[in-house]
Amino acid sequence: MSIAVLNGSTVTKFVDDKAKFENCVDECFEKLDFVKNGGLSRSTLRERFHRFFDMEDEAQPVEEIDRLYNNIFERFDEDRNGNIDRSEFRSLMEEIMLAMARGIGDSLVLVALDQDSLLNKAVQHESAAK
């Protein structure tokens, strides 16, 4: 766990660096795809997805969490095979990160981040660019 200061620009610049961003997202995908079948099931996402966003879903009602994952699969499982493949996962991560950037805006935000979180990767990307 580390403490960092970031803003929306930190996240946007990370996503805009396509090579670096996709590399980090691919690393996340590999960590989630522990059965190595090239796709992430609904149960895999539900059990492990939160670790890349510094969020916990334990306090949320089950119905709300179910609705979230139903929406993810409806929107991003383009081939409707019941799994999120690497390309679909990249699209999902890009959309989530850009939504977070818009939500943060220009405000500086002090956050506690897990080492593997994509927000931490964005902070590291910004630090490396300086």
Q: How far is CA 99 from CA 89, 105, 128, in A?
A: 15, 10, 23
Contact, 119 vs 8, CB < 8 A? no
Cα–Cα distance between 46 and 63 in angstroms, integer? Answer: 13
pLDDT above 90 for 76:
yes
For residue 56, report the phi and psi dihedrals to the nearest 5 degrees: -125, 140
pLDDT above 90 for 110:
yes
Q: Identify residue 95 by its one-letter amino acid code.
A: E
pLDDT above 80 for 18:
yes
- Please give the pLDDT value at position 1: 84
pLDDT confidence tier of residue 58, bands split at 50, 70 and 90: low
Q: Which residue has the tokens 């405000």?
A: 107
